[in-house]
């Protein structure tokens, strides 16, 4: 195994990452539209159904279920969630509280 850069080994990058503009005018318009809708945290949000449909199409599955965050997502599955063991230090308690079990996803 090669020596890590922090220990004196060869650096992976010798130049900074190039400047980028990840968001353009269209993304700014969509963001402003979502904010003005006054419904950012609900399933009835303007873009939620479109996102779920695009997500399920991309992965080739029939349904996709969005949530407002990771903790909420753990509780979505009725028979106990199967969540990755590496989801964070709080995940074991969340799994137990939802009646689920952890599974390893390499």
What token pair was written down for 97? 């509280």
Q: For the chain, 106 residues long, give each residue's pLDDT as a single digit of tens.
A: 789 989 999 998 889 988 888 899 999 999 999 889 888 777 787 788 888 899 999 999 998 888 877 777 777 766 554 555 555 555 555 555 555 555 544 4
Question: 3-class DSSP state for residue 90?
Answer: coil
Q: What is the largest CA-CA distance in the chain?
A: 53
How crowded is residue 75: how many other Cβ atoms within 10 Å of its Cβ? 15
Identify the bridge partners of residue 96 per DSSP, sorted by sequence position. Answer: none
Domain-by-domain residue ranges, the chain? 39-68, 69-106
């Amino acid at each position: 195994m090669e020596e890590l850069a922090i220990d004196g080994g060869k650096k992976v990058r010798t130049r900074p990452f190039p400047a980028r503009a990840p968001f353009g005018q269209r993304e700014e318009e969509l963001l402003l539209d979502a904010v003005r809708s006054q419904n950012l945290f609900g399933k009835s949000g303007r873009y939620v159904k479109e996102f779920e449909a695009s997500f399920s199409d991309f992965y080739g599955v029939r349904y996709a279920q969005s949530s407002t965050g990771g903790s909420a997502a753990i509780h979505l599955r009725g028979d106990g969630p199967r969540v990755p063991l590496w989801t964070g230090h709080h995940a074991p308690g969340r799994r137990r509280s939802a009646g689920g079990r952890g599974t390893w996803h390499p």
